[in-house]
Amino acid sequence: MDHDSLLEPSWADAHAAAYAAARPVPAERVPLVEAVGRVLAEPAVSLMDLPRSTTSAMDGWVVSGVTGPWELVGSSLAGHPMRRALAPGTAAVIATGGVVPAGAFGVLRRELGSVRTADGGAWAEGDGPAWVHADPPADGPPAEPAAGSHVRPAGLEAAQADVLVAPGRVLTPPQVGLAAMAGNDELTVHRPVTAALLVMGDEVRHDGLPGEGEVRDAFAPQLPHLARLLGLETGPATFVADTLDAAVEAIRACEADVVLTTGGTAAGPADYLHRALTVLGAELVVDTVAMRPGHPVLLARLQDGRSLVGLPGNPLSAMAGALTIVRPLALGLLGLPPVVLGRVVTAEAVGAPAHDSRLVPYVRVPDVDGLGDLLERDVAVGTTRGVLARPTAWLGSGMLRGLAGADGVLVVPPGGVRAGAVVPDLPLPW
């Protein structure tokens, strides 16, 4: 074992070490349509003033001068801008998105004006000079045009070189749309992070009812999806026989950035993971964590620098290990910020070993007795008023029923907590 490895660190130290162990994967330029859902690696900047030109927000007439009528002298339509300045006392037909010419005072919406002769008579095509009149409402002076009415100045949304999206976040559809509006064709994103899944154990059955001494495999149907929820690209799990050679060969054959194994983490007669890692010359970064369940989880660095997480075989222990180690590792590799723990008020006392944290799935229940109100400034400490966390039943490390119905997971500190305590809340990734 390398002298830098953490042997049985606290839950918080293990969680932080897994994030710190990860260097973001390299970046690549991708077309915008492929950038949604990827992690931005370099700022998305505006390549121009946005909008590029001063444009109209409405259909109507752009006028020069405060009061009309204005002589109609041309038009400025989308794709056919009016290039000359508008002289005082004149107007041009303008469409939404049309360029507002120099000299403009404001835009008069078409429903608030009309085209007539200079003295207000009816005007038809071919009648000679046309004039735009503002039509005042029955009870007062014209509300439009006003200075700059319905005019979107160039650069209103962004100036050239403005940072539109900061790196280190998963790009959303509107962020990519914004990058397009600002003239970008590509963005720089981290390349995808891949994971391989190896399910170890001779006693696991893949379908049907298990026989005596067998269990149904809890991992192959869910781990690929959990990995994807954590941002990792992965295919189906591979089953590996309980022998040292099989474990070594299976790990060696993986090309993914992260290898996730299940089972074989303890020191039992059929537990080969540690020995396989020694054969492979891997370095342990975290070797067991002071938590229950999930105690034997490990994080190793393979010789070529890729990561391996050994999840315990017990189903709830494996999930505790995934939330504690795989999630922060994935966030670090993806170039994303670390997990922020929430805070909840526990409805009941929860025990924990003297030296181990306990990960306890909970359900949200209404705080009918006002237990949370007994706390000073419960809102200020980040809890949700009126909501308590009640530990689920089925907390055994070999069970999944509690987690399956849970709203979150309490990270109960060593020694446990009393009812009404504020406890860190590990949000679920699904």
319 φ/ψ angles, rounded to the nearest 5 degrees? -70, -40
Would you give the distance in Å from CA 87 to the centre of its chain?
51
Please tell me whether residue 69 binds ligand MOO under the rule CB under 6 A. no
**Closest to ligand MOO by CB, 145 or 293:** 293
Please tell me whether residue 265 binds ligand MOO under the rule CB under 6 A. no
Contacting residue, 203, 233, 348, 407, with ligand LQZAQKY5 by CB under 6 A: 203
User: If residue 144 lies in a helix (H) or strand (E), which one and from where to where?
Assistant: none
x/- mask, ligand LQZAQKY5, residues 381-410, rule CB under 6 A, reads: ----------------xx------------
Q: Are 187 and 30 in contact (CB under 8 A)?
A: yes
**Euclidean distance between CA atoms 203 and 196, whole angstroms:** 21
Least spacing, CB of residue 295 vs ligand MOO, in Å: 3
User: If residue 44 lies in a helix (H) or strand (E), which one and from where to where?
Assistant: strand 44-45
Torsion of CA 407, 20, 196, 305, to 10 degrees: -170
x/- mask, ligand LQZAQKY5, residues 254-293, rule CB under 6 A, reads: --------xxxxx-x--x---------------------x
Please tell me whether residue 313 binds ligand LQZAQKY5 under the rule CB under 6 A. yes
Least spacing, CB of residue 261 vs ligand MOO, in Å: 15
User: What residues numbered 211-240 form the site for ligand LQZAQKY5, per CB under 6 A?
Assistant: 215, 217-219
Amino acid code (one letter) for 315: P
**CA 269 → CA 87, 104, 272, 275, distances in Å?**
93, 86, 8, 12
Contacting residue, 187, 193, 397, 421, with ligand MOO by CB under 6 A: 397
- The length of the chain is 430
Please tell me whether residue 402 binds ligand MOO under the rule CB under 6 A. no
Please tell me whether residue 197 binds ligand LQZAQKY5 under the rule CB under 6 A. no
Please tell me whether residue 358 binds ligand MOO under the rule CB under 6 A. no
In degrees, rounded to 5, the angle at the alpha carbon of residue 283 between the alpha carbons of residues 279 and 285 is 140
Contacting residue, 175, 317, 346, 392, with ligand MOO by CB under 6 A: 317
Which among ligand MOO, ligand LQZAQKY5, none contacts residue 263 (Cβ within 5 to 8 A by kind)? ligand LQZAQKY5
**Closest to ligand LQZAQKY5 by CB, 41 or 289:** 289
DSSP state of 82: -
**Euclidean distance between CA atoms 63 and 86, whole angstroms:** 8
Exposed e or buried b for every residue in 267-300, given b needs 16+ CB within 10 A?
eeebbbbbebbeeeebbbbbbbbbbbbbbbbbbb
Least spacing, CB of residue 277 vs ligand MOO, in Å: 19
**Euclidean distance between CA atoms 176 and 190, whole angstroms:** 15
Strands 232-234 and 193-200: parallel
**Closest to ligand LQZAQKY5 by CB, 149 or 234:** 234
The count of chain residues that interact with ligand LQZAQKY5, using the rule CB under 6 A, is: 25
**Closest to ligand LQZAQKY5 by CB, 313 or 413:** 313
Please tell me whether residue 231 binds ligand MOO under the rule CB under 6 A. no
**Euclidean distance between CA atoms 360 and 366, whole angstroms:** 18
DSSP line for 321-358: HIIIIIHHHHHHHHTPPPP--EEEEBSS-B---SS-EE
Please tell me whether residue 315 binds ligand MOO under the rule CB under 6 A. no
Residues 6 or more apart in contact with residue 184 via CB below 8 angstroms? 32, 44, 45, 47
The count of chain residues that interact with ligand MOO, using the rule CB under 6 A, is: 8
**Closest to ligand MOO by CB, 52 or 401:** 401
Amino acid code (one letter) for 430: W
Please tell me whether residue 314 binds ligand MOO under the rule CB under 6 A. yes
Please tell me whether residue 307 binds ligand LQZAQKY5 under the rule CB under 6 A. no
**Closest to ligand LQZAQKY5 by CB, 99 or 300:** 300
Q: Are 158 and 132 in contact (CB under 8 A)?
A: no
Contacting residue, 38, 274, 295, 306, with ligand MOO by CB under 6 A: 295
**Euclidean distance between CA atoms 84 and 395, whole angstroms:** 76
Residues that bind ligand LQZAQKY5 (CB under 6 A): 199, 201, 203-204, 215, 217-219, 262-266, 268, 271, 293, 295-296, 312-315, 317, 397-398
Residues that bind ligand MOO (CB under 6 A): 292-295, 312, 314, 317, 397
